[in-house]
Amino acid sequence: METKQSMDYIIKGPGGTTKPIAPKLITVNPLNIIIESNSGQIDKTLELKNIYPCRIAFRVRTNGPTRYTVCPSKGFLSNGEKVAIQITLIDGTKYQSNHQFIVQAMPSPGDFADRKFIWKQPNFLGIFTNTRVKTMRPAQSLPKSNPKSPAKVSTPTDSGMSSPVASSESLVTPSVPSWSKSPSSPIDHGKFAENINDLSVQVKKAIDEKNTRTSEMVSVVNQIKAVEVDLDRQAQLVNELSERVKRGEIQYSNLVMHERSLRVELGRLKNNEAESIGQ
């Protein structure tokens, strides 16, 4: 009779001895996030999939917690289940090339519902994985004066990793447009000066409105995080109440059985007493 495969994936080594290997719990796609040049909000999506035979817990961490929002940042996945993680760079001008994410995963009991408290529990199986997700700017092509040299462009492969052709030297930030540089001599805008002033005022208003919207979005994100904390707390309370109900049901069953045994004993005593009186 075949025995069920254990959770730590014990396999036979070349010499016939057993040795544990670290199982792969989760797949992350993509492993490189392309951040386009943008002064506004930038939204990206990570897809996580549980490829482990059992239920797992996951969480997504970043070294730029004030720059990004991640939703959901924690959760559980059953075998074969997928989840889309929404990653938002609040302001594209605040992007830095060292921004990255870590997707952590570990096996989770099937009845555990607290997404945060489980990461404070001891990991008895010792199975834990870290998957690094990097960010980068899209590569730029070479100048037209040198058409023979191909441009180094990072093209993602099927596995989500970037092509070896793309190196850190090819991931350059966009150059400043020539019209934004300070000219050597002042430019006379002539009849367009009034229109330029009006447009400048409109741009300033748009920037102020954008800053206001950004502040509102950050406030909403903080409210969402507070709601998540409250949900986790309520889930923990529900678990505690469920345990109390189970204990109460067990106590009630014990009392019912005790009552029945007392009734049987009482009936037996009455019968004995009646027989003794009859004699």
Q: Tokens 């002042």 sit at which residue?
A: 186
H or E stretch at 247 = helix 193-278
Residue 144 lies in a domain: no
Q: Which residues pair with 105 in a beta bridge?
A: 58, 129
Residue 262 in this model has a pLDDT that exceeds 70? yes
Last residue of a domain, one of 81, 107, 136: 136
Residue 90 lies in a domain: yes
pLDDT digits 0-9 by tens, 82-104: 999 999 999 888 899 999 999 99
The Cα–Cα gap between 272 and 210 comes to: 92
Cβ–Cβ < 8 Å for 58, 104: yes
- Tell me which residue range forms the domain holding 92: 26-136
Q: Which of 113, 139, 125, 98 is nearest to 57 (CA)?
A: 113
Residue 17 lies in a domain: no
Total domain count for the chain? 2
pLDDT digits 0-9 by tens, 132-163: 999 998 874 444 444 444 444 333 333 333 33
Last residue of a domain, one of 136, 156, 180: 136
pLDDT digits 0-9 by tens, 229-254: 888 888 888 888 888 898 888 999 89
Cβ–Cβ < 8 Å for 53, 23: no
Last residue of a domain, one of 136, 154, 180: 136
Residue 77 lies in a domain: yes
Residue 154 lies in a domain: no
Which pLDDT band holds residue 112 (cuts at 50, 70, 90)? confident
Residue 86 lies in a domain: yes
pLDDT digits 0-9 by tens, 165-204: 333 333 334 444 444 444 444 555 666 777 777 788 888 8
Residue 182 lies in a domain: no
- Judgement on whether residues 122 and 36 belong to the same structural domain of the protein: yes
131 burial class (0-12, 13-18, 19+ CB within 10 angstroms)? buried
